[in-house]
Amino acid sequence: MTSNNRKQIASFILQRMEMGETEWFFKPDTDFPRRLDISAHAAPSKHMLLAKEKMVDTGKVVHLQHRENECTGKIIDEEVITDQENLNDLYTAVCGCTRCPLGATRNKFVFGAGNPHADVMFIGEAPGADEDAQGIPFVGRAGQLLTKMIEAIKLSREEVFIGNILKCRPPGNRDPKPVEIECCEPILVRQIELIRPTIICALGRIAGQTLLRSKSSLGALRGKIHDYHGVKLMVTYHPAALLRNPNWKPQAWGDLKFLRREYDGMVIG
């Protein structure tokens, strides 16, 4: 075994321990493709197929650019949103949004980032201080843990799409207000229409309750498949909650394995 092999195994074990897993065994892992089996994907459009083939062939993943200098400053409305035919156009149309008061207090608009044709979307409630400063979702300590959670199920940040219900930070990281959600959710819905994910993972109680219009507890929302605008949706812990309460990591790891099983069943099965 080379020193590089040893480093990879050590990194793997540390990652699983970080997720709260205390026991593991090794076996050939032939059931877990690193990349999607495109031929078996449920009826993708030609456009999606080409994009994914390109990603698999070249290993190159499309990143969304946060092009502040291209912001139009338009005040969004439903018609503007539904006019857009790709995520970059949608971003350009909405990045100057002031439809709710958060548009006046944000530093940076946080549209979301990742693969514009992702099969898996992770959606939190709203940007925090780090995200507001950088314009990129989940970049602080919670973001680093989210990256580990994604990698634990053999995906990468570049393969999935990560975003929030609100695109601007609520002051002091307070919970989103109903009026803010009402103003901002159409952007998320249009993102989902354009990305056409196979499954959405809502991060945390607030995201789960808001998307599902539910008052159920996180425990009641977890462990099952819901429907969000025709897309399968599951709910797990917000990584920030896992940082505060590491004892929840084993349950979160169970949720992630559930997500991976559902994803494999839909994409490959």
Q: Which residues bind ligand SF4 (CB under 6 A)?
A: 97-100, 102-103, 166-168, 180, 183-184
Q: Return the CA Rg of the chain.
A: 18
Nearer to ligand SF4, 164 or 236 (CB): 164
* Contact (CB, 8 A) for 195 and 161: yes
| Cα three-residue angle 253-262-158, rounded to 5 degrees | 70
Give me the least distance between CB of 127 and ligand SF4, in Å please. 9
Q: Which residue, 37 or 89, is less far from ligand SF4 as judged by CB? A: 89
Please identify, using beta-carbon distances, which residue of 132 and 255 lies nearer to ligand SF4: 132
Return d(Cα 184, Cα 166) in angstroms, integer: 6
* Tokens (6 digits) for 46: 């030609």
Give the nearest distance from C-beta 18 to ligand SF4 in angstroms: 32
Instruction: Answer whether 266's CB lies under 8 Å from 198's CB.
Output: yes
Specify the residue, 43 or 104, whose C-beta has the smaller distance to ligand SF4: 104
Pairing relationship of beta strands 161-164 and 113-114 according to DSSP bridges? antiparallel
How near is the Cβ of 153 to ligand SF4 at its closest, in Å?
A: 29
d(CA 71, CA 141): 28
Minimum separation from the CB atom of position 207 to ligand SF4 (A): 14
Q: How far is the CB of 100 from ligand SF4 (least distance, A)?
A: 3
Q: Which is nearer to ligand SF4, 91 or 258 (CB)?
A: 91
